[in-house]
């Protein structure tokens, strides 16, 4: 029997061309594995295409709920946002994909895992760090880095290669955006986006929704209910988190929510420009943030923001299966113990407008905060506090005045 390689298979032209390339250059039996993290109709026709291309078997692993519950929700709880904008849609999906590839490799007794990520991107790092952490004995094959054997540099090259190997596929050579989609988001790179001086062609680009200019003129209200930082209900209806995100994607897309245009710093050192659509995720993150405003004390909230930024870096860099990620997540879990309540929002032309937040654990005390009441707060107490709080400033100012006087 031949040795086996597990191919991370999307069904696109790149990974389809990799199947005959692997057989030709490694003499492996190719077992394709597609991980369903909510990419929708991209899964249509995969089995026929994989077999036609020479694969011996195709696994389709449906892990959308696992993706949401074990990877997305921890990032929501952490408030993890990379470089102040990117909600980590692709980054969060890579570790669960790596995990499932390893599981299939063990089941098939494969000796290697192959992925189609390029040598310029983040995904090669994320896939390979995940595989190394979970299965350090497995060989990793990255065709785009195999300069001696991978000669294809364009879609035209890949199509011709497939035809030469008797594979006639419904792909054409016309270039389009490079996209990655899952339940949380869709990313767009390439074409006019490669020049930061160009405006995005939103009429041609958007998939999950519309631009704010084309959103309805009527606003739409909604409510989200959280328990211990986890979304459990939308508009009062109890739902699992993945279903909430799915419905929020529809609502957010309709109202032009969650479209960002960012030049980000990739792990490999270069800057990259992309447009991300994250309609449901943007609403969910904003609602969670608003709830935490009421519940977390000042010191915890301040520290959590730092932890959230570090968590985002760790996820972005593909270091999910590390003690550091586990430790950061443990901190976050403690902060979420009382993040329970309801957040009301209004969606209008790309904006998320606060409509009121309630929680049984709210630290907001009207008797203290109000201008018209104040039974628990004595204004005169502020004088002593300010004297102590500003003592170091006063001492320094006195010293500098003395120095100036003695010159």
Instruction: List active site positions.
Output: 14, 94, 123, 178
Q: How many CB atoms lie within 10 A of CB 238?
A: 10
Rounded to 5 degrees, φ, ψ at 5 are -125, 140
Contact of 176 with 190, CB cutoff 8 Å = yes
What tokens were used for 83?
């470089």
What tokens were used for 147?
């300069």
Helix (H, G, I), strand (E, B) or coil at 330: helix
Transcribe 72-135 into DSSP letters: IHHHHHHT--BTTTB--HHHHHHHHHHHHHHHHHHHHT-SEEE----TTSSHHHHHHHHHHHH-
Residue 350 CA to residue 245 CA, distance in Å, equals 17
Of 57, 61, 14, which is closest to residue 37 (Cα–Cα)? 61
Between strands 271-277 and 220-227, the pairing is: unpaired
Contact of 265 with 288, CB cutoff 8 Å = no
Task: Specify the length of the chain in residues.
Answer: 407
Q: How many CB atoms lie within 10 A of CB 270?
A: 10
């Amino acid at each position: 029997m031949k040795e086996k390689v597990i191919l991370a298979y999307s069904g696109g032209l790149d990974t389809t061309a990799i199947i005959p390339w692997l057989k030709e250059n490694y003499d492996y039996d190719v077992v394709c594995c597609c991980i369903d993290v909510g990419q929708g109709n991209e899964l249509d026709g995969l089995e026929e295409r994989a077999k036609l291309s020479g694969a011996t078997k195709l696994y389709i692993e449906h892990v959308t709920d696992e993706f949401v519950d074990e990877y997305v929700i921890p990032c929501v709880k952490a408030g993890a946002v990379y470089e102040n904008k990117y909600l980590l849609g692709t980054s969060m999906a890579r570790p669960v994909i790596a995990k499932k590839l390893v599981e299939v490799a063990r089941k098939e007794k494969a000796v290697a895992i192959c992925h189609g990520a390029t040598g310029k991107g983040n995904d090669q790092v994320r896939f390979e760090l995940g595989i190394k952490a979970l299965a350090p004995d497995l060989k990793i094959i990255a065709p785009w880095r195999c300069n001696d054997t991978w000669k294809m540099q364009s879609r035209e090259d890949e199509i011709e290669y497939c035809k030469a190997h008797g594979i006639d596929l419904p792909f054409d050579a016309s270039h389009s955006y490079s996209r990655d989609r899952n339940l949380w988001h869709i990313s767009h790179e390439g074409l006019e986006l490669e020049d930061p001086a160009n405006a995005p062609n939103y009429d041609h680009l958007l998939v999950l929704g519309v631009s704010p200019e084309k959103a309805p003129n009527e606003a739409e209200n909604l409510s989200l209910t959280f328990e211990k930082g986890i979304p459990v209900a939308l508009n009062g209806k109890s739902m699992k988190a993945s279903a909430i995100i799915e419905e929020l994607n529809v609502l957010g897309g309709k109202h032009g929510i969650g479209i960002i245009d960012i030049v980000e710093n990739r792990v490999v050192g270069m800057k990259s420009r992309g447009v991300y659509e994250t309609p449901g995720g943007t609403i969910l993150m904003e609602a969670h943030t608003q709830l935490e405003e009421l519940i977390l004390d000042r010191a915890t909230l301040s520290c959590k923001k730092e932890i959230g930024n570090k968590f985002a870096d760790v996820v972005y860099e593909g270091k999910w299966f590390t003690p550091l990620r586990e430790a950061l997540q443990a901190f976050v879990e403690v902060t979420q113990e009382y993040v329970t309540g309801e957040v009301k929002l209004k969606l209008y032309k790309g904006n998320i407008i606060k409509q009121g937040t309630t929680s049984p654990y709210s630290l907001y005390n009207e008797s203290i905060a109000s201008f018209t009441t104040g039974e628990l707060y004595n204004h005169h107490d502020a004088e002593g506090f300010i004297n102590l709080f500003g003592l170091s400033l006063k001492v320094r100012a006195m010293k500098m005045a003395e120095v100036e006087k003695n010159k």
